[in-house]
Structure 1
């Protein structure tokens, strides 16, 4: 992994913190052409063994049977009180092996939590530090000569060829996640660079914001019910599977309509990026929400925001972060339950 990071630096990349990258030529404004982004803010936690599926079925909001090597469902891991410890995407890579794609800051805490139960099952948990994760933005045909697996045609689906796995994530422009051995990442990056410009992590984060997809970090853990980040609207909760940790609270909140805060996309005036958890207040100076994620916009005049806001607030409300105006935007999906069973059926 160190060789992979050194290669990114030699290619002009600069780490802004532990996980985010900046490239002077590509930057975070990719108006046209393809983008290539190191996704070092993600990690893979592996569950492997004869009992791996049974173990995960009792811990995740997804039905593990839906992870079939083609569909890669979203899921949440919750406390007994229904609050999310982490959210992830489940990838079935072989008959007894599953990968959990999640934010790097939560791989350790989730492994600790799951490790309390793992000894009772024939399976092992381990961090896959030997894997590299690369993001690609651009239409599938534009990568045709890049020696890749056939790229997935549907969001939250996967393809696999030898030791390279490809995922498709939603966005206004097609984007894909490659997972491959870190020992081969430098050569793969150089090949892909002939088809794309290296770009900042901020570009990927902005695509997540535009898609209304909220990845929890350590700063969010144990703070939200899955519905508060619209996880059921993205198919991340199966209400038809059996029990899992926190299931009773999550189901009660859904069927009794007890979710009083929801994820929203917004634009914030000014280029200074607010911090996670910064308060959102009404014109009457009442706290009505908080910043979930923020990144610089594609100009110097605004920031793109994911915010968790009281459901009593509508699009016409005057909202502020400090003295800066916050404007709500439309979500790209209906705010209603999407059963993963329907996705699999379709």
Structure 2
């Protein structure tokens, strides 16, 4: 067991098999989260480091995002697609210096993504390493987040979408009061203690709920290859560039963007259930499969919020299938996303 895990254990943390963390002191409800500032650890996510003079050039030819924008002090969401234009991984990118880019993805995908990209990295001046134990990942959100980052992270004034890096800390501003921090292992315990003394500790699934409410779907090993960027609204959240040039799957993604007319897209939904199986199908009243879950988070009292790819036509009632348990299917309710949705896929966002 690592020193970092021992450190968290001493604070009442427990880690699940998939890397998610829970604390003895935790949020009681989603409404409570809105009134407090929270800190969580994002060990369910992994980190890959791309080092060398060709790091940006290499990734530019592999992913949907325009990697060149990282040099301007921004962080970017993006995806790595297969030849069919389906997402094999999703991630966030930030540049620490001109010859290093860090890529954060779900920990279930770090090995497969590294193995895939390594096949092409040998042709560039870039080295690829798993940096998950070199950099720790924190999530910080709530009304006091910006003040805490300024006081303890020593960050300059940041706008949403900015990334700043120095002294073993990479700070990503996700929203007005929401930050993702990648902290070198040598500084992680000290920064955690400073932040934790001024806010509450929260289970990592509450951070996932923030992603769900932001409409940011994350691909895991379970969903790799299942969805296109358009189905998950990646063009709408700035995770796909249609001006950057070629990458694997680019022709399919571009054709769908300019000429395609998908009938299913991601929606935010609510439902009630004691437990939730992400592999369960979404069906209509006749039991016909109509969609699939992408990610979900409990909000308390057997209530859940989730992101799911379902038909754009909202006239039919939809349910979460329960398999052969004999239990009635769970009705789902559509909820709003925080960004405007296009009426057709052939409306270019740029």
Partners of 1:50 and 1:278 lie apart in 2 by 45
| Contact residue 266 and residue 306 of structure 1 kept, 8 A | yes
1:282 pairs with one of 276, 281, 284: 284
Give deviations 1:214-260, integer Å, cap 9, x for gaps: 01101111111111111011011111111111100101111112433
Alpha-carbon distance between aligned partners in 1 of 2:146 and 2:103, rounded to the nearest angstrom: 28
Corresponding residue for 1:344? Answer: none
TM-score between the two structures when normalised by the length of structure 1: 0.91
1:151-201 CA-to-partner distances (Å, cap 9, x unmatched) read 66433321223211111224xx72111111123212211111111111101
In 2, the alpha carbon distance for the partners of 1:27 and 1:15 equals 17
CA deviations over 1:245-283 (Å, ceiling 9, x no partner): 11001011111124332111000123x232122111112
How many Å apart are 1:142 and its aligned residue? 3.7
Instruction: Give 1:127-206 correspondences, 5 Å limit.
Output: 127-128=130-131, 129-139=133-143, 140-143=145-148, 146-150=151-155, 153-170=158-175, 174-206=177-209
The secondary structure found in structure 2 opposite 1:117 is: helix
Distance 1:113 1:190 in 2: 37
Q: What's the CA shift for 1:144?
A: 5.9
Aligned pair count reads: 334
For residues 175 and 151 of structure 1, the distance between their equivalents in structure 2, rounded to whole angstroms, comes to 15
Deviations 1:316-335 (A, max 9, x none): 43111132110010111012
Spell out structure 1 runs of 4+ moving beyond 4 A.
none
Structure 2: any 5+ residue segments left out of the alignment? 322-328
In the TM superposition, residue 307 of structure 1 has moved relative to its aligned partner by 0.6
CA distance in 2 between counterparts of 1:242 and 1:152 reads 33
CA–CA distance in 1 between the matches of 2:330 and 2:147? 40
Q: 1-side partners of 2:157 and 2:47: how far apart?
A: 20
Tell me whether 1:15 sits opposite 2:19 in the alignment. no
Secondary structure of the residue aligned to 1:4 is: helix
RMSD: 1.9
Relative to 1, partners in 2 of residues 1:25 and 1:31: Cα closer, same or farther, differing over 3 Å? farther
> Per-residue CA shift, 1:2-37, capped at 9, x if unaligned?
111111111011113331111122246335221010
On the 8 A contact 1:34/1:136 being kept in 2, the answer is yes
Does residue 234 (structure 1) correspond to residue 237 (structure 2)? The answer is yes
Structure 1: gaps spanning 5 or more residues: 342-346
Relative distance call for 1:151 and 1:281 in structure 2 (3 A) is: farther
Residue 102 (structure 1) aligns with: 105
- How many angstroms apart in 2 are the aligned matches of 1:144 and 1:112? 35
With the length of structure 2 as denominator, give the TM-score of the two structures: 0.90
Of 120-129 and 178-187, deviating more is: 178-187
1:1-346 aligned at under 5 Å gives the runs: 2-27=2-27, 29=29, 30-128=33-131, 129-139=133-143, 140-143=145-148, 146-150=151-155, 153-170=158-175, 174-270=177-273, 272-297=274-299, 299-311=300-312, 313-314=313-314, 316-322=315-321, 323-336=329-342, 339=349
Cα gap change, 1:99/1:304 in structure 2, threshold over 3 Å: closer, same or farther?
A: same
The answer to whether the Cα contact below 8 Å between 2:172 and 2:180 also exists between their aligned partners in 1 is yes
Separation of aligned partners in 2, 1:221 and 1:168: 27
Instruction: Provide the C-alpha distance between the structure 1 equivalents of 2:100 and 2:262, rounded to a whole number of angstroms.
Output: 35
Is residue 149–residue 164 contact of structure 1 (8 Å, CA) maintained in 2?
no
